[in-house]
Amino acid sequence: MNIMVTNDDGIHAAGIRALAEAMTALGTVTVVAPDRERSAAGHSLTLHSPLRIFEQHKGWYAVDGTPTDCVNMGIHNMLPITPDLVVSGINHGANLGDDITYSGTVAAAMEANLMGIPAIAFSLATFAPSNHFTDAALMAVQIARQVIANGLPADTFLNVNFPDCPQDKMLPPLITRQGKRSFIGKIVDKTDPRGRKYFWVGSEEPHLNDEPGTDFHAINRRHVSITPLHLDLTNHKSLPILAEWTF
Protein backbone atom coordinates (compact mmCIF):
# COMPACT_ATOMS: atom_id res chain seq x y z
CA MET A 1 0.00 0.00 0.00
CA ASN A 2 1.13 3.52 -0.80
CA ILE A 3 -0.44 6.10 1.44
CA MET A 4 -0.19 9.86 1.10
CA VAL A 5 -0.72 11.93 4.23
CA THR A 6 -1.59 15.61 4.29
CA ASN A 7 -3.34 18.11 6.57
CA ASP A 8 -4.19 21.78 7.02
CA ASP A 9 -2.56 22.36 10.41
CA GLY A 10 0.88 22.24 8.79
CA ILE A 11 3.63 19.66 8.60
CA HIS A 12 4.80 20.35 12.17
CA ALA A 13 1.42 19.63 13.79
CA ALA A 14 1.05 16.82 16.31
CA GLY A 15 -1.93 15.37 14.42
CA ILE A 16 -0.06 14.67 11.17
CA ARG A 17 2.87 13.11 13.02
CA ALA A 18 0.55 10.72 14.84
CA LEU A 19 -1.39 9.90 11.66
CA ALA A 20 1.68 9.36 9.46
CA GLU A 21 3.34 7.18 12.06
CA ALA A 22 0.21 5.04 12.60
CA MET A 23 -0.34 4.61 8.83
CA THR A 24 3.06 2.93 8.46
CA ALA A 25 1.23 -0.17 9.79
CA LEU A 26 -0.55 -0.30 6.40
CA GLY A 27 2.25 0.50 3.98
CA THR A 28 4.65 3.12 2.69
CA VAL A 29 3.76 6.60 3.85
CA THR A 30 4.61 9.85 2.06
CA VAL A 31 3.78 13.12 3.76
CA VAL A 32 3.07 16.19 1.61
CA ALA A 33 1.70 18.97 3.79
CA PRO A 34 1.59 22.75 4.05
CA ASP A 35 4.74 24.33 5.53
CA ARG A 36 2.57 26.29 8.00
CA GLU A 37 -0.95 26.25 9.35
CA ARG A 38 -3.55 26.65 6.60
CA SER A 39 -6.70 25.89 8.58
CA ALA A 40 -9.93 27.17 7.02
CA ALA A 41 -8.23 27.33 3.60
CA GLY A 42 -11.19 25.39 2.22
CA HIS A 43 -10.66 23.99 -1.27
CA SER A 44 -8.44 26.86 -2.41
CA LEU A 45 -5.68 26.49 -4.98
CA THR A 46 -2.64 28.76 -5.32
CA LEU A 47 -2.84 30.26 -8.80
CA HIS A 48 -1.01 33.58 -8.53
CA SER A 49 2.32 32.58 -7.04
CA PRO A 50 4.76 29.71 -7.55
CA LEU A 51 4.90 26.71 -5.21
CA ARG A 52 8.04 25.33 -3.65
CA ILE A 53 8.78 21.98 -2.05
CA PHE A 54 11.00 21.60 1.01
CA GLU A 55 12.14 18.08 1.88
CA GLN A 56 12.14 17.86 5.70
CA HIS A 57 13.45 14.33 5.86
CA LYS A 58 12.92 11.15 3.87
CA GLY A 59 9.30 10.89 2.76
CA TRP A 60 8.28 14.20 4.39
CA TYR A 61 7.71 17.19 2.12
CA ALA A 62 6.47 20.65 3.05
CA VAL A 63 4.84 22.80 0.36
CA ASP A 64 4.27 26.55 0.70
CA GLY A 65 0.69 26.17 -0.47
CA THR A 66 -2.76 25.03 0.60
CA PRO A 67 -3.85 21.49 1.45
CA THR A 68 -5.39 21.21 -2.02
CA ASP A 69 -2.06 22.31 -3.56
CA CYS A 70 -0.34 19.60 -1.52
CA VAL A 71 -2.61 16.86 -2.86
CA ASN A 72 -2.10 18.11 -6.42
CA MET A 73 1.65 18.43 -6.04
CA GLY A 74 1.96 15.11 -4.28
CA ILE A 75 -0.02 13.14 -6.81
CA HIS A 76 1.09 14.87 -10.00
CA ASN A 77 4.70 15.80 -9.21
CA MET A 78 6.14 14.05 -6.23
CA LEU A 79 4.89 10.53 -5.57
CA PRO A 80 6.37 8.01 -8.01
CA ILE A 81 3.00 6.23 -8.34
CA THR A 82 -0.60 7.17 -7.58
CA PRO A 83 -1.26 6.42 -3.89
CA ASP A 84 -3.80 3.77 -2.93
CA LEU A 85 -5.17 6.05 -0.23
CA VAL A 86 -4.97 9.71 0.76
CA VAL A 87 -5.53 10.58 4.42
CA SER A 88 -5.81 14.11 5.76
CA GLY A 89 -5.39 15.20 9.37
CA ILE A 90 -5.60 14.52 12.14
CA ASN A 91 -7.00 18.02 12.35
CA HIS A 92 -6.84 19.79 15.70
CA GLY A 93 -10.52 20.71 15.92
CA ALA A 94 -13.79 19.15 14.84
CA ASN A 95 -14.99 19.23 11.25
CA LEU A 96 -18.70 18.75 11.76
CA GLY A 97 -21.88 19.99 10.10
CA ASP A 98 -21.68 23.05 7.88
CA ASP A 99 -18.17 23.82 9.14
CA ILE A 100 -16.73 21.24 6.77
CA THR A 101 -17.19 23.71 3.92
CA TYR A 102 -14.39 25.86 5.42
CA SER A 103 -12.12 22.95 6.15
CA GLY A 104 -8.76 22.51 4.45
CA THR A 105 -8.56 19.05 6.03
CA VAL A 106 -11.78 17.93 4.33
CA ALA A 107 -10.89 19.74 1.09
CA ALA A 108 -7.66 17.75 0.78
CA ALA A 109 -9.66 14.52 0.90
CA MET A 110 -12.10 16.08 -1.55
CA GLU A 111 -9.28 16.81 -3.99
CA ALA A 112 -8.07 13.21 -3.84
CA ASN A 113 -11.66 12.05 -4.38
CA LEU A 114 -11.85 14.25 -7.50
CA MET A 115 -8.82 12.34 -8.79
CA GLY A 116 -10.54 9.04 -8.12
CA ILE A 117 -8.33 8.11 -5.15
CA PRO A 118 -9.91 6.75 -1.94
CA ALA A 119 -9.64 9.47 0.69
CA ILE A 120 -10.42 10.07 4.35
CA ALA A 121 -10.35 13.28 6.40
CA PHE A 122 -9.69 12.84 10.12
CA SER A 123 -10.33 15.38 12.88
CA LEU A 124 -10.07 15.36 16.65
CA ALA A 125 -13.10 17.10 18.08
CA THR A 126 -11.51 19.61 20.39
CA PHE A 127 -9.87 22.99 20.02
CA ALA A 128 -8.28 22.65 23.47
CA PRO A 129 -4.77 21.20 23.86
CA SER A 130 -5.04 17.40 23.59
CA ASN A 131 -2.79 14.40 24.01
CA HIS A 132 -5.20 12.04 22.23
CA PHE A 133 -3.84 12.29 18.68
CA THR A 134 -2.13 8.90 19.00
CA ASP A 135 -5.37 7.32 20.27
CA ALA A 136 -7.25 8.82 17.33
CA ALA A 137 -4.52 7.69 14.91
CA LEU A 138 -4.90 4.07 16.03
CA MET A 139 -8.64 4.29 15.30
CA ALA A 140 -7.82 5.97 11.98
CA VAL A 141 -5.82 2.89 10.98
CA GLN A 142 -8.80 0.66 11.73
CA ILE A 143 -11.03 2.83 9.54
CA ALA A 144 -8.42 2.93 6.75
CA ARG A 145 -8.25 -0.89 6.89
CA GLN A 146 -12.01 -1.03 6.23
CA VAL A 147 -11.66 1.35 3.29
CA ILE A 148 -8.83 -0.74 1.83
CA ALA A 149 -10.70 -4.03 2.39
CA ASN A 150 -14.13 -2.91 1.15
CA GLY A 151 -13.39 0.04 -1.12
CA LEU A 152 -15.65 3.07 -1.05
CA PRO A 153 -18.91 3.54 -2.94
CA ALA A 154 -18.57 5.57 -6.16
CA ASP A 155 -17.79 9.30 -5.71
CA THR A 156 -17.55 8.90 -1.94
CA PHE A 157 -14.94 10.04 0.54
CA LEU A 158 -15.12 9.96 4.33
CA ASN A 159 -15.17 12.67 6.95
CA VAL A 160 -14.18 11.13 10.27
CA ASN A 161 -14.27 12.88 13.65
CA PHE A 162 -12.89 11.43 16.87
CA PRO A 163 -14.03 12.35 20.36
CA ASP A 164 -11.22 13.82 22.47
CA CYS A 165 -10.55 10.85 24.76
CA PRO A 166 -8.30 7.79 25.09
CA GLN A 167 -8.94 5.04 22.54
CA ASP A 168 -10.52 2.69 25.12
CA LYS A 169 -13.04 5.41 26.03
CA MET A 170 -14.10 6.06 22.41
CA LEU A 171 -17.43 4.45 21.55
CA PRO A 172 -17.64 2.50 18.26
CA PRO A 173 -17.89 4.36 14.96
CA LEU A 174 -21.36 5.43 13.83
CA ILE A 175 -22.15 6.15 10.20
CA THR A 176 -23.64 9.62 10.31
CA ARG A 177 -24.97 12.41 8.14
CA GLN A 178 -23.67 15.96 8.07
CA GLY A 179 -25.38 18.03 10.76
CA LYS A 180 -26.50 21.65 10.77
CA ARG A 181 -24.89 24.58 12.51
CA SER A 182 -27.07 27.02 14.43
CA PHE A 183 -25.20 29.99 13.15
CA ILE A 184 -23.90 32.34 15.79
CA GLY A 185 -21.66 34.61 13.79
CA LYS A 186 -19.02 36.08 16.04
CA ILE A 187 -16.68 38.80 14.91
CA VAL A 188 -14.60 40.37 17.63
CA ASP A 189 -14.40 44.12 17.22
CA LYS A 190 -11.56 45.94 19.04
CA THR A 191 -9.23 48.90 18.75
CA ASP A 192 -5.49 48.50 18.11
CA PRO A 193 -2.75 50.49 20.00
CA ARG A 194 -2.78 53.13 17.25
CA GLY A 195 -6.48 53.74 17.64
CA ARG A 196 -7.62 51.89 14.53
CA LYS A 197 -10.46 49.42 14.64
CA TYR A 198 -9.75 45.80 13.81
CA PHE A 199 -11.92 42.75 13.47
CA TRP A 200 -11.19 39.12 14.18
CA VAL A 201 -13.38 36.22 13.08
CA GLY A 202 -14.36 34.36 16.25
CA SER A 203 -13.10 30.86 16.89
CA GLU A 204 -15.55 29.65 19.49
CA GLU A 205 -16.66 26.00 19.57
CA PRO A 206 -19.26 25.44 16.85
CA HIS A 207 -22.91 25.37 17.90
CA LEU A 208 -24.49 22.49 16.07
CA ASN A 209 -27.98 21.07 16.30
CA ASP A 210 -27.92 17.87 18.34
CA GLU A 211 -30.11 15.78 16.02
CA PRO A 212 -29.96 11.96 16.10
CA GLY A 213 -28.12 10.50 13.12
CA THR A 214 -25.82 13.47 12.71
CA ASP A 215 -22.06 13.75 13.07
CA PHE A 216 -22.49 16.17 15.97
CA HIS A 217 -24.88 13.85 17.85
CA ALA A 218 -22.38 10.97 17.59
CA ILE A 219 -19.40 13.05 18.74
CA ASN A 220 -21.38 14.53 21.62
CA ARG A 221 -21.88 10.98 22.90
CA ARG A 222 -18.21 10.04 22.50
CA HIS A 223 -18.75 7.91 19.37
CA VAL A 224 -16.39 8.08 16.43
CA SER A 225 -18.35 9.70 13.60
CA ILE A 226 -17.93 8.58 9.96
CA THR A 227 -19.81 10.68 7.41
CA PRO A 228 -19.71 9.66 3.74
CA LEU A 229 -19.46 12.79 1.58
CA HIS A 230 -19.67 13.51 -2.11
CA LEU A 231 -19.12 16.50 -4.30
CA ASP A 232 -22.47 16.79 -6.01
CA LEU A 233 -23.77 19.96 -4.36
CA THR A 234 -27.02 19.83 -6.33
CA ASN A 235 -30.05 20.04 -4.10
CA HIS A 236 -31.93 17.21 -5.78
CA LYS A 237 -35.10 17.81 -3.71
CA SER A 238 -35.34 21.34 -5.10
CA LEU A 239 -35.10 20.32 -8.77
CA PRO A 240 -38.85 19.65 -9.24
CA ILE A 241 -39.72 22.84 -7.30
CA LEU A 242 -37.52 25.06 -9.47
CA ALA A 243 -38.70 23.21 -12.56
CA GLU A 244 -42.10 24.84 -11.95
CA TRP A 245 -40.61 28.29 -12.59
CA THR A 246 -41.49 29.88 -15.90
CA PHE A 247 -39.17 32.20 -17.78
Q: Where along the sequence are the contacts to Mn ion (CB under 5 A)? A: 8-9, 39, 91
Nearest residue (beta carbon) to Mn ion: 39
Whole-number Å distance between alpha carbons of 140 and 120: 9
Nearer to Mn ion, 14 or 245 (CB): 14
Q: Residue 184 CB, nearest distance to Mn ion (Å)?
A: 20
Q: Residue 39 CB, nearest distance to Mn ion (Å)?
A: 3
Q: Residue 33 CB, nearest distance to Mn ion (Å)?
A: 11
- Could you tell me how far CA 128 lies from the centroid of its own chain? 18
Nearer to Mn ion, 9 or 111 (CB): 9
The continuous run of DSSP H or E covering 30 comes out as strand 28-34
Whole-number Å distance between alpha carbons of 52 and 38: 16
Q: What are the beta bridge partners of residue 183?
A: none
Burial class of residue 114 (count of CB atoms within 10 Å of its CB; 0-12, 13-18, 19+): middle
Nearer to Mn ion, 131 or 246 (CB): 131
14-23 and 133-150 helices cross at what angle (nearest 10)? 40
Nearer to Mn ion, 77 or 203 (CB): 203
Q: Residue 93 CB, nearest distance to Mn ion (Å)?
A: 6
Q: Residue 146 CB, nearest distance to Mn ion (Å)?
A: 24
Residue 13 burial (CB count, 10 A): 22
Nearer to Mn ion, 6 or 227 (CB): 6
